[in-house]
Amino acid sequence: MGYHKQITPLTEDVLSASLSLTVADLALLNAYQKNFPLVSRPYAEIAAGLQLTEEQVIQRLTHLRKVGVVSRIGAVLQTGKAGMSTLAAMEVPVRDLEKVAQIVNSYPEVNHNYEREHALNLWFVVTAADEERLMFVLSEIAEHAGTEVHILPMLDNFHIDLGFPLTQEQDERVDDAGPDFK
């Protein structure tokens, strides 16, 4: 069972919304989960690439956020290059896991959280402008959750590509890459 903040739980509403994605929605999501334009009017640039208007792109993304298909639009920065971040974990009784996950998720500094099969069973990542804010958020989470927060500092840096192909065209390209990529 996961409590990943970035991925909306698969409710009937989200499933219904995701099943009714338009071709334009799929093209928008597929093309711009990576390489988001870093220009003064990114939605205008996206619109030009998709033969849509800037207003249509903004309306579609607003709708997709509202129905839970998209949970966040924003940069992913390399650890240590801007602000402070840490992995943290808590030991939470299973009966309280949902409630504590909601407390953790209520902080905008929390990127995501998830359940682990471990004594420390709720893990999450916190990012803040500076160490003072980071420690404040962690102490507040501990206070509101009623359990200790363990800070797990990064020892090695790994890059995980979270882009997923959403169209058949992309899937076929992956299949053509050979057996190692299936």
**Mean pLDDT for the stretch of residues 162-170:** 63
pTM of the model: 0.57
**Mean pLDDT for the stretch of residues 31-46:** 90
Distance CA 112, CA 105 (A): 7
**Mean pLDDT for the stretch of residues 73-88:** 77
pLDDT at 13: 53
pLDDT at 112: 80
**Is pLDDT at 7 greater than 80 in this prediction?**
no
User: Using one digit for the tens of pLDDT, what is the confidence trace for 42-78?
Assistant: 999 999 999 999 999 999 999 988 887 887 787 766 6
The domain made up of 84-152 has a fold known as: Alpha-Beta Plaits (3.30.70)
pLDDT at 77: 66
Name the pLDDT band for 79 (thresholds 50, 70, 90): low
Name the pLDDT band for 30 (thresholds 50, 70, 90): confident
Higher-pLDDT residue of 164, 173 = 164
